[in-house]
Structure formats: C-alpha cells, structure tokens
Amino acid sequence: MFELAARADVLWLLTAAAFVTFLTRIGGDLILSRFNYIHPRVEAALEAVPAAVLTAIVVPPALSAGPPEIMAIIAAGFAALRFSAFTVLVIGIGVLLAARNLGL
Amino acid sequence: MTKTAKTSDFWEGIRETLPLMGAVIPFSLVFGATAVQAGYTIFETIFASATIFAGASQFVFIEVNGLQVPGWSVILSVFAVNFRHILYSASLGRYMQKFSPPKKLLAFFFMTDFHWANGETRIHTKGAERFTPTWYAGFTVPLYVMWVAGTAVGAVTGQMITNPEAFGFDFLLPIYFLTILIGFRRRPNFLFVVCVSGTVSYLALVILGEPWHISLGAITGVLAAALLPLKDRSDSVLTHGQGEDV
C-alpha cells in the first residue's frame, strides 16, 4: 500500500519550496526586526501580497470556466463570509456537482 | 520556572490546538487526495507536508506546477503566498527572549498562522514570560503530527478514487483559494487590491496566456496598494492586528 516511489526533480522542487517557506518564517525576525521604523508604503505593499497573489490565481480560471464553475465560485464566495473554510468547500463542491448533474 | 508550570504550559499548548483540528484534519486529507490526483506519488505528497508545513502554499505548489511552467515560477508563487510569515516572525520574534537560538530557529520552522494568532493572544493576555518554548512545543506537536498523518491518509485514500470529476476534484483548488482570499477581507485596501489584481491577471491571461497572468496580476495589485493614499495603520499585523486562518 505505501510505496516509497518519488521523482528526484519533484523532491528538489519541493525542497526548494520548503526552503523559501523557511526563509519567510525567519525573514521577519532576521530583517524587519532590525528596523525600528517600516515605511507605511512598504507595509501596505507587504500586507497586500497574499490577497493580490490569491486573486491572480483564482479570478482567471473562474472567469474562463462554464456555468457550474461560476455558480460554485459565487456560492462559495458568499458562504466564505459566514462559514469556516471546510464548510465553504463542501458548499462550493455541492453546488458544482449539483449544477453539473443538472446539465447546466 | 517550576516543573509544574512547564508541564501546564505544554498541556495548555496541546489543548489550544483542539479547536483548530476541525480545519487541520479535513484539509490535510483533502491535500493528500488532491496531490495524488494531480499525479504526485504518496511519498512526494507526504514529503511536501512534512517539509513545507504550510497548507495554502502546498495547494499553490500543485496548482502552479500543473501549469507546465519553469520551476522558479512555482517557487516564486510559494514564496509570495507565504510572504505573510515575514510579518508574523517580525512580530513574534520580539517576544522570544526565552528561546535559545537553536530553539528559535526550530520554532520558526514550524510557525503557522495559528502559531502567530495564538502566540499573540497568549503574549497579550498572560504576558510574554508565558510565551515559552514549552508552550510552543505543546502547540506545535499535535498540529504537525495531524497535518502529516492526515496527508498520508488522504493520499492513500485519494489513490483509490478513479473518477475525480465526480467528486469535483478538478475545481477544488479555485474554491479553496477563494475561501482563503475572503479570509483576508478585513485587511486594508482589500477590495481595491482584488479589483486591480483580478482585472490585470484576467487581461494578462487573455492577451499573454499562462503563466504570466499570476505574476503580473499579483505585482500590479501590490504596487497599487503601495501607491494608495496612506491611512491610519493602527490595524497592521506588526502592531498586533487581526490574522486570518489558512
């Protein structure tokens, strides 16, 4: 059942991802904490990074997909205002599968 | 510190992870299944959870690496999504006087959104002297063990699914990312950044094609946020504002 198969290039890419993740985890303590003052524009830019990246990942595939996918995104978007992440996932996937089965 | 206080710090850490398990366990299962469905082996999938240990960016890795783009752009996407950690470590690092340098490095390796949120809460309710390596260890062990074990279970189970479309696996990632995105909605300039990044990334996809839409959309959104008129920054992460769970 449990096989140890792995591709070297995939493991290297994952290791690199783990390394840059570690850099972000120590980076603030190593670099930002040396400054007593962080320029508000720099901080505004730093704070915008996650939302900007996630938007750029989500919006294009959502806008290029069919009606079931668009319905699922809209339902999940509203659900996310109220419910926890896993509930939202269940609602979004539920709407997607329902719409697909109805042949929309 | 007495032995009893140490033990209680450890157990308090463990207890604080219980309410978080409702998010950690399902998502570790989903990550394992999604990764295997995307073509990764069980070992590669577990390796990802054990070394990266950051949910959102592990999903980003699968999504972007599936676009047939160069490796560096996959790494850049992971780096960008994890960028928020820089703010967390700058903030928590100020209260780590009780951590020896090796313990500090180890602690940062495992730092998640949860560590930051619960750590700041502990510091501001019980004082920095109770923000100990012992508490941190108690808080980390269950989260890490469940994340890696859940990934393994999800990967083994996911391998048995032969009709991923019937489960909506093909569209699971966009819904997941949308959920995280909405979690950031209380950050300053949120709607503005979303509109700029969304418009630019969609236009870039139509005009230039994959994978440039992600970098271009993200960079434009970040620059736009930096150029906006400055407002009161009292809600910033560095001055212990509110976090979001990923």
Could you read off the pLDDT of B92-148 as tens digits, one per residue? 888 898 999 999 999 999 999 889 888 988 988 888 899 999 999 999 999 999 999
Please check whether residues B196 and B218 belong to one and the same domain.
yes
Whether residue B225 and residue A44 make contact (CB cut-off 8 A), yes or no, is yes
Tokens linked to B174: 């966009």
What mean pLDDT is predicted for residues B200-225? 87
| Domain shared by B70 and B106, yes or no | yes
d(CA B242, CA B129): 22
Of A58 and A33, the one with more pLDDT: A58
Predicted pLDDT at B200: 96
Q: What is the DSSP letter of B99?
A: S
Which residues form the domain of B104?
Answer: 3-166
Q: State the nearest Cα–Cα gap between B126 and chain A, in angstroms.
A: 22
Residue B191 · residue B69 · CB < 8 Å: no
Question: CB-based contact (8 Å) between A74 and chain B?
Answer: no
CB contact under 8 A, A20 and B197: no
Whole-angstrom distance, CA of residue B31 vs CA of residue B158? 9
Nearest to B148 by CA among B241, B28, B246, B26: B28
pLDDT digits (tens, 9 = 90+) for B43-101: 999 999 999 999 889 999 999 999 888 999 899 989 988 887 887 888 888 889 899 99
Lowest mean pLDDT across A79-83, A86-90, B170-174, B217-221 = B170-174
Peptide linkage before B164 cis (omega within 30 of 0):
no
Q: How far is B176 from chain A (nearest CA, A)?
A: 6
Cβ contact, residue pair B80, A53, below 8 Å: yes
Do B128 and B199 fall within a single domain? no
Q: Residues of chain A with pLDDT > 70: what percent?
A: 97
**In the block, residue with structure tokens 């979004």:** A92
Average pLDDT of every residue of chain B: 87
Clarify whether residues B11 and B88 are in a common domain: yes
Contact residues, chain A, for B60 at CB < 8 Å: 53, 57
Residues B194 and B215 reside in one and the same domain: yes
pLDDT at B240: 44
Which ipTM did the prediction report?
Answer: 0.81
Find the helix packing angle between A40-64 and B55-65, rounded to 10°: 50
| Interchain contact, B79 vs A51, CB within 8 Å | no
Put simply, the answer to whether B43 touches A6 (Cβ < 8 Å) is yes
Same domain, B162 and B179: no
Residue with tokens 């792995």: A6
B122 & B162 share domain:
yes
Higher pLDDT, B65 or B237: B65
Q: Could you tell me the CA-to-CA distances from B92 to B81, B100, B119 in Å, in that order?
A: 19, 14, 7
Residue B75 belongs to some domain of the structure: yes
Best interface-test mutation with A: which of B25, B78, B178, B246 has the largest number of A CBs within 10 A? B178
Domain count within chain B? 2
- Per-residue pLDDT for B32 more than 60? yes
Structure confidence by residue, pLDDT tens digits, A35-51: 777 788 888 887 788 78
User: Which of chain B's residues have a Cβ under 8 Å away from the Cβ of A57?
Assistant: 60, 63-64, 77, 174, 177, 214
**Do you find a cis peptide bond into B211, omega within 30 degrees of 0?**
yes
Whether A3 shows a pLDDT value over 80: the answer reads: no
For residue B49, which amino acid is it? S
Closest C-alpha to A42, from B1, B87, B31? B87
Structure tokens at B158: 């996911």
For position B238, what pLDDT does the model report? Answer: 58
Q: In the structure, what pLDDT confidence band is assigned to residue A78 with cuts at 50, 70 and 90? A: very high
Q: Is the C-alpha dihedral spanning A85, B112, B59, B223 positive or negative?
A: positive
Q: Whose CA is closest to A23, among B58, B85, B219?
A: B85
In the structure encoding, which two tokens stand for residue B96, read together?
A: 């780590």
Please indicate, yes or no, whether residues B20 and B114 belong to a single structural domain of this protein. Answer: yes
In total, chain B counts a number of residues equal to 246
* Lookup: tokens for B5: 């206080």
Question: For residues B214 and A68, what is the distance between their CA atoms, to the nearest angstrom?
Answer: 23
- Tell which wins on pLDDT, B178 or B5: B178
The nearest CA of chain A is from the CA of B2 a distance in Å of 29
Residue B147 lies in a domain: yes
For residue A103, which phi and psi values (nearest 5 degrees)?
75, 25
Q: Are residues B45 and B84 in the same domain?
A: yes
According to the model, what pLDDT value does residue A72 have? Answer: 93
- CA distances A75 to A16, B75, B178, Å, are 36, 31, 11
